[in-house]
């Protein structure tokens, strides 16, 4: 069954409850009268509540209504949050340089509004020292507390210990900041912009903001997290 409402001569009822162009209640009128008013206003008669008795119809520019609805849906998709869970693996006896590198990855993920699953991998005799992994997870959580919080406390999972960090910043906020950064980059870019360039920029707006948020994290996620 089509989701499109019936309009104009597709409406097949003897009378309708009519709503005017500005939302005013006209009342129950014969269908012929409603169609006559639609012609006078140069608008469409659109059935907005088919199951009502009598059906409710409104005078509107249906083409404009469909366009505005599509634009709202497009904007909603552009602002939709896609929270991703990234993963970072560490060893309990990680050296300071590797720790700083991996902490930097975690910082970038949290700044992008994504959750991070931290996995401590124990091997051999390390399995008898779970407190080493726990202390390392607590240290990492403390180092990034300005950007994230412990969403799932450290817990043992076989030979691994796992903790999940959640970002303070929502994904939508990160995307908004990315759009501002993208706009600043365009403003600072040298040279002139042609009409074709501007059209291409506008066409890519739906994807570009999220691409800016993810560009660093996505590049790094193509590689398997190195074991320290």
pLDDT in tens, 1-15: 457 889 998 999 999
Alpha carbon 49 to its chain centroid, in Å, reads: 31
Q: Which residue has the higher pLDDT, 181 or 191?
A: 181
Superfamily of domain 8-61: Translation initiation factor 3 (IF-3), N-terminal domain (3.10.20.80)
Please state whether beta strands 160-167 and 148-157 pair in parallel, antiparallel, or not at all (unpaired).
Answer: antiparallel
Burial of 23 per CB tally in 10 Å (0-12, 13-18, 19+): exposed
Work out the percent of the chain whose per-residue pLDDT is above 70.
Answer: 78
Q: Which residue has the higher pLDDT, 1 or 129?
A: 129
Question: Is the per-residue pLDDT at 200 higher than 60?
Answer: no
> Which residue do the tokens 């210990």 mark?
161
Q: Which residue has the higher pLDDT, 123 or 188?
A: 123
User: What is residue 112's DSSP assignment?
Assistant: T
Q: Check: CB of residue 116 under 8 Å from CB of residue 87.
A: yes
pLDDT at residue 194 in the model: 46
Q: Check: CB of residue 140 under 8 Å from CB of residue 150.
A: no
> Which among 29, 5, 26, 25 has a CA at the least distance from the CA of 15?
29
Q: Check: CB of residue 102 under 8 Å from CB of residue 88.
A: yes
Buried b / exposed e over 192-213, threshold 16 CB at 10 Å, is eeeeeeeeeeeeeeeebbbebb
Question: Is the per-residue pLDDT at 174 higher than 90?
Answer: no
pLDDT at residue 92 in the model: 92
Q: Output the pTM of the full model.
A: 0.48
pLDDT at residue 83 in the model: 65
User: How many angstroms separate the CA atoms of 114 and 95, rounded?
Assistant: 26
H/E element holding 59? strand 56-60
Q: Which residues pair with 97 in a beta bridge?
A: none
Superfamily of domain 77-190+207-220: Translation initiation factor 3 (IF-3), C-terminal domain (3.30.110.10)
Question: Is the per-residue pLDDT at 190 higher than 80?
Answer: no
């Amino acid at each position: 069954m089509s989701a499109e409402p019936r309009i104009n001569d597709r409406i097949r009822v003897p009378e309708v409850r009519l709503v005017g162009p500005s939302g005013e209640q006209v009342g129950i009128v014969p269908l012929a009268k409603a169609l006559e008013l639609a012609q006078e206003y140069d608008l469409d008669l659109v059935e907005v509540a088919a199951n009502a008795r009598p059906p409710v119809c409104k005078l509107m520019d249906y083409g404009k209504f469909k366009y505005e609805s599509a634009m709202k849906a497009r904007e909603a998709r552009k602002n939709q949050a896609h929270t991703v869970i990234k993963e970072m693996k560490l060893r309990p006896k990680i050296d300071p340089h590797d720790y700083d590198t991996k902490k930097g990855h975690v910082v970038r993920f949290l700044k992008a509004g994504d959750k991070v699953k931290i996995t401590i991998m124990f091997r051999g005799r390390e399995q008898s020292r779970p407190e080493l992994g726990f202390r390392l997870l607590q240290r990492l959580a403390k180092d990034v507390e300005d950007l994230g919080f412990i969403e799932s406390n450290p817990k043992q999972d076989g030979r691994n210990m796992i903790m999940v960090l959640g970002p303070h910043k929502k994904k939508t906020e990160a995307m908004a900041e990315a759009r501002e950064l993208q706009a600043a980059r365009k403003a600072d870019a040298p040279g002139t912009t042609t009409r074709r360039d501007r059209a291409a920029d506008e066409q890519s707006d739906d994807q570009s903001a999220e691409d800016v948020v993810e560009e660093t994290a996505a590049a790094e996620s193509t590689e398997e997290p190195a074991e320290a």
